[in-house]
Structure 1
Amino acid sequence: MISFGIIGTNFISDRFIAAGSMLTNFKVGAVCSRSINTAQSFANKHNIVHCYTDVVEMLDSGNIQALYIASPTNLHAHYAQIALEKGIHVLCEKPVTSNSKELKQLIEIASRKQVLFMEAMKSTTMPAFRQVAEHLNEIGQPRRYFASYCQYSSRYDAYKAGNVLNAFKPEYSNGALMDIGVYCIYPAVMLFGKPKSVKASAFMLDSGVDGEGSIILEYDDMDAVVMYSKISNSSLPVEIQGEQGNLVLDRVSEPSRVTLMPRGGEQVDLSLPTIEQDMYYEIEHFIQLLEENKKQSPINSFENSLITMEIMDEARKQIGLVFPADLK
């Protein structure tokens, strides 16, 4: 049984508990929030015994073996560093840090302390994406990866009304690229590795973050085209085009349906049954790694997370998106 401590009491943490509760070897031992009332309310909702307002106190309590971080992105590195130094395993929401400098520091600590550290990129652990990876060779030489994640944010209505919420504030290391563009980039890195070059463009909001953008990743024999937005919607699927066919995924962030379309042949449905609580798969994978005494995921690996973060660093440099965390 792995007992998790949770930092963050928003809807993501609710989903984390709902998914994890489907596993027999999962429990939540403690929750931490800046407000004891918020922590207690969250604990009551999920039958959590221990509440804290001090992260160090929770980590030193002996009530948890692993930490799930769902705080604002600008705080990810701070909390992860404290936990890793104390020998607590860490599952951290995407994007795992504000920049690659922070991530390199965390990787060094995790390696030195010999504890498990993983970015909670759920999509790459889901059955549909595993099917893509297993059947990629059936489309021949890949020539293009295309991924779109454009989802109009309800917070943008507030923004236009003059109320700038955290999702559109650079001090929280937020914006469209960090929030949802990462979902498009990470699978490309997992499938095709580090690109030769990055070309980015974006529409910047007055608050200082990007509302939408596009990125082209250049490889030796193919390219990856990524589009993301928090100020418009899109229904486009994910497609990997090869010389002998193509693979189509229904949704980059929560894939459930995958179709193989051989050139000149009949399409094949490669979809596998998928649990509705889709965070289940990342939690199951993380716990399995712990039980096998592994210190790094072969899926959401240090290398994949670092390449993804370096791509986003370069994209932000090109579009002029700077976070306070970059200046430390």
Structure 2
Amino acid sequence: MINFGTVGTGWITESFIQAAQLSGQLQLTSVYSRTEDKAKQLADTYHASNYYIDLEEMAKDPEIQAVYIASPNSVHFEQTLLFLKNKKHVICEKPIFSNSAELAEAYKVAEANGVYLFEAIRNMHTPNFKILKDNLKRAGKLRSTILPYAKYSSRYDVFLQGEEPNIFSAEYSGGALVDLGVYPLYLAVGLFDEPKQVTYHPVLLRSGVDGSGTLVLTYEDFVCTILCSKIAHSELPCEIHGEKGTFILEDAAPISTITFVDNRGNERETLSVELEEQNMVYECENIVRIIETKNDQEYLQLKGWSEIVLRITEEARKQNNIVFAAER
């Protein structure tokens, strides 16, 4: 059992706490918020023994072994470094950082302090991702892939009224690609590795970030197209097309269902297993297992994926002059 604390009080934090409880392998001991009322309310709801409004004080708590960070994107780096330097394992919600330089520095600090750093990316830990990867060769030579993830954000209504919510702000390292787009992007990287070429075609908002966009990843023999949006909605499935068959995924995250369609007989086969309703539980279980068994092979694979994904989003932003405040 690993004792952990949380930074942030949004719905994603509560989802992670619930998943941690379901896993039976993480014990919530502390929570942090900038406001005492929110910190106390979250602690009371989930029976945490401590709550903090001072992050430095929380980082020094000897009871905490790991921390889950789900604060605004732009402060992930400084908060992560604080906890790593205090020898806490860090699970940082995606997108982990604003750029590759921050990622490299954070991994150095983690290694120097003998702790692990993880990017929280739930779809890569589900059993269905492993099933898909293990069966990928059944499709034969890959020829094309389309991975959509478009969900209209209620925060866009606020944006249209003249405000600038964090997720649509360059000040807070926001935008569609680094928010929703990282799910299908991670899926592509996990299945196909790093592409030869990256091209991004965004719909830019007045705040200087992308509200939606089309990311094209060029591989040796095929192209992977990722559609992401927070200003429109799509119910298109994901598809991976090969010369022998096609994989159809209900979604890029959490990868709810996988169907394989044979090209010649047109026979359909369901390969997926039914996921837990609280599907972040797989992420919790895998992270604890890696920490407790010191499984550096799996850890380095996750690290490698984070590095590739961040390189791609950084290149995509560079092509379109999307500059975060953390980089100015």
Q: Cα gap change, 1:183/1:13 in structure 2, threshold over 3 Å: closer, same or farther? A: same
* RMSD of equivalent CA atoms: 1.4
Which structure 2 residues correspond to residues 1-150 of structure 1 after superposition, within 5 A? Answer: 1-150=1-150
Unaligned runs of 5+ in 2: none
What do the CA deviations read for 1:252-272 (whole angstroms, capped 9, x no partner)? 122111011121131110010
Match of residue 280 from structure 1: 281
Q: Cα gap change, 1:164/1:62 in structure 2, threshold over 3 Å: closer, same or farther? A: same
Q: Are the counterparts in 1 of residues 25 and 285 from structure 2 also a CA contact under 8 Å?
A: no
Match of residue 232 from structure 1: 232
Q: Are the counterparts in 1 of residues 36 and 52 from structure 2 also a CA contact under 8 Å?
A: yes
Match of residue 311 from structure 1: 312
1:206 to 2:206 alignment: yes
Q: Are the counterparts in 2 of residues 170 and 322 from structure 1 also a CA contact under 8 Å?
A: yes
Q: Which amino acid aligns with 2:195?
A: P
Q: Which amino acid aligns with 1:123?
A: N
Q: Are the counterparts in 2 of residues 127 and 256 from structure 1 also a CA contact under 8 Å?
A: no
Q: Cα gap change, 1:223/1:299 in structure 2, threshold over 3 Å: closer, same or farther? A: farther
Match of residue 190 from structure 1: 190
Quick one: distance in 2 between partners of 1:216 and 1:81? 33
The secondary structure found in structure 1 opposite 2:22 is: coil
CA shift, 1:140, in A, is: 0.8
CA shift, 1:298, in A, is: 4.7
Match of residue 293 from structure 1: 294
Which structure 2 residues correspond to residues 255-266 of structure 1 after superposition, within 5 A? Answer: 255-265=255-265, 266=267
Q: Are the counterparts in 2 of residues 5 and 28 from structure 1 also a CA contact under 8 Å?
A: yes
Q: Are the counterparts in 2 of residues 3 and 28 from structure 1 also a CA contact under 8 Å?
A: yes
Per the normalisation by structure 1, the TM-score is 0.96
What do the CA deviations read for 1:164-195 (whole angstroms, capped 9, x no partner)? 22221111101111110111111111111111
The secondary structure found in structure 2 opposite 1:164 is: coil
Q: Are the counterparts in 1 of residues 144 and 223 from structure 2 also a CA contact under 8 Å?
A: yes
Q: Are the counterparts in 2 of residues 213 and 227 from structure 1 also a CA contact under 8 Å?
A: yes
The secondary structure found in structure 1 opposite 2:180 is: helix
Identity, in percent, stands at: 38
CA shift, 1:88, in A, is: 0.8
Q: Are the counterparts in 2 of residues 118 and 300 from structure 1 also a CA contact under 8 Å?
A: no
Q: Which amino acid aligns with 1:289?
A: I
Q: Are the counterparts in 2 of residues 7 and 32 from structure 1 also a CA contact under 8 Å?
A: yes
Q: Cα gap change, 1:53/1:73 in structure 2, threshold over 3 Å: closer, same or farther? A: same
Which consecutive segments of 4 or more residues in structure 1 shift more than 4 A?
none
Unaligned runs of 5+ in 1: none
Pairs aligned (count) = 327
The secondary structure found in structure 2 opposite 1:21 is: helix
Per the normalisation by structure 2, the TM-score is 0.96
Q: Are the counterparts in 1 of residues 244 and 262 from structure 2 also a CA contact under 8 Å?
A: yes
